[in-house]
């Protein structure tokens, strides 16, 4: 094997040693750094996505982002800028479409299909290979450069600050729209703010798991957390812990097995979800 002269790539039960081996590689450091930031953000923003019942909108934004990223590839700039522009635009449009989340599915679905078509056109116009599209759809966490890490970190910290500032209003409008509105909180403003938050979170999450698999980090951990915790702050913490744990576990496993990282991340999230659902079912079975 090629790596015989360098760090061992065999698994040891000493996990600290394993991590030290992995982190000798710059690309693994970048993957862990970006993966952690993205998982923290997805855990936080995802919690609000779930309690506001906006998971379809979040899904749509990632597809809208695909068109943006493909467009950025076409004009030869960093795909993350295309992602940011398109998801923010899409987020504003969705926020402006309808007042209540539940009535938006049809409009969102319409925009989603059109944007995917636009993405296909951009990939077609791009005089290169469809591999670019694959890395957008499924993520390419092993190919993250140090400048990508810095962009992700800055954007991630920005999202945390904004969420911290809006936390109470965001929670209030999510849990009871009518009372919040009666108290003088503008639904439209909060809706716009939140859609922009999803847009930005989606844009940075695409690097890790890609457009198609973004649900794994944005929705599933938060869905589990919502089942486990009544207090929102505890729920957010659980959501973050699950997302980070799945990302780390996925990256860890991928070091030893020759399969895509995104598969390991999405399947560990899914297994956690299954376990929680099964544990929930059991008491009612016994009763």
**Where do contacts with another protein occur on this chain (CB under 8 A)?**
2-3, 5-7, 9, 19-20, 23-33, 36-37, 40, 44, 123-124, 127-135, 138, 140, 142-146, 153, 156-157, 160, 163-164, 167-168, 171-172, 233, 236-237, 240, 254-256, 258-261
Q: Is 231 left (phi over 0), alpha (psi -120 to 50) or beta?
A: beta
How far apart are alpha carbons 272 and 281 in whole angstroms?
A: 14
Comparison of 103 and 145: residue with beta carbon closer to another protein? 145
Q: How far is the CB of 80 from another protein (least distance, A)?
A: 13
Report the residue number, 257 or 278, with the smaller CB distance to another protein. 257
Distance separating alpha carbons of residues 166 and 192, to the nearest angstrom: 12
Annotate the chain with DSSP letters as a single string: -GGGGSS--S--S-HHHHHHHHTTSHHHHHHHHHHHHHHHHHHHHHHHHHHTT-HHHHHHHHHHHHHHHHHHHHTTS-HHHHHHHHHHHHHHHHHHH-SSGGG-HHHHHHHHHHHHHHHHHHHHHSSS-THHHHHHHH--GGG--HHHHHHHHHHHHHHHHHHHHHHHHHHHHHH-HHHHHHTT--HHHHHHHHHHHHHHHHHHHHHHHTTTTTHHHHTHHHHHHHHH-SSHHHHHHHHHHHHHHHHHHHHHHHTTSSS-HHHHHHHHHHHHHHHHHHHHHHHHHH-
Nearer to another protein, 18 or 104 (CB): 18
44 vs 111, beta carbon nearer another protein:
44
Euclidean distance between CA atoms 277 and 282, whole angstroms: 9
Least distance from another protein to the Cβ atom of residue 104, Å: 27
Q: Min. distance of Cβ 128 from another protein in angstroms?
A: 3
Q: How far is the CB of 127 from another protein (least distance, A)?
A: 3
**Between 114 and 256, CB nearer to another protein:** 256
| Least spacing, CB of residue 4 vs another protein, in Å | 9
Identify which of residues 6 and 103 has a Cβ nearer to another protein in the complex: 6
Rounded to a whole number of angstroms, the minimum distance from the CB of residue 143 to another protein is 3
Could you tell me the smallest distance in angstroms from the CB atom of residue 73 to another protein?
A: 9
C-beta closer to another protein: residue 62 or 247: 247
């Amino acid at each position: 094997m090629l790596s015989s002269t360098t760090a061992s790539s065999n698994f040891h039960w000493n996990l600290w040693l394993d991590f030290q081996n992995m982190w000798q590689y710059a690309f693994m450091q970048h993957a862990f750094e970006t993966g952690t930031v993205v998982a923290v953000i997805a855990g936080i923003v995802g919690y609000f996505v779930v309690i506001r019942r906006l998971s379809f909108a979040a899904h749509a934004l990632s597809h809208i982002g695909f068109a943006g990223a493909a467009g950025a590839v076409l004009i030869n700039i960093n795909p993350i800028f295309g992602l940011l522009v398109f998801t923010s635009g899409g987020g504003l449009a969705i926020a402006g479409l309808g007042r209540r989340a539940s009535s938006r599915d049809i409009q969102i679905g319409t925009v989603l299909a059109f944007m995917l078509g636009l993405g296909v056109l951009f990939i077609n116009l791009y005089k290169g290979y469809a591999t670019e599209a694959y890395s957008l759809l499924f993520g390419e966490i092993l190919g993250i450069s140090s400048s990508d890490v810095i962009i992700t970190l800055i954007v991630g910290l920005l999202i945390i600050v904004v969420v911290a500032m809006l936390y109470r209003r965001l929670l209030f409008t999510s849990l009871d729209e009518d009372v919040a509105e009666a108290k003088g909180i503008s639904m439209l403003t909060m809706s716009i703010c939140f859609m922009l938050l999803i847009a930005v979170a989606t844009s940075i999450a695409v690097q890790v798991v890609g457009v198609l698999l973004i649900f794994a980090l944005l929705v599933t951990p938060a869905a589990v957390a919502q089942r486990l915790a009544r207090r929102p702050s505890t729920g957010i913490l659980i959501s973050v812990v699950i997302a980070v744990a799945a990302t780390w576990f996925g990256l860890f496993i991928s070091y030893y097995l020759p399969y895509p990282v995104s598969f390991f991340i999405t399947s560990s999230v899914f297994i956690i979800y299954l376990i929680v659902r099964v544990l929930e079912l059991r008491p009612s079975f016994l009763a």
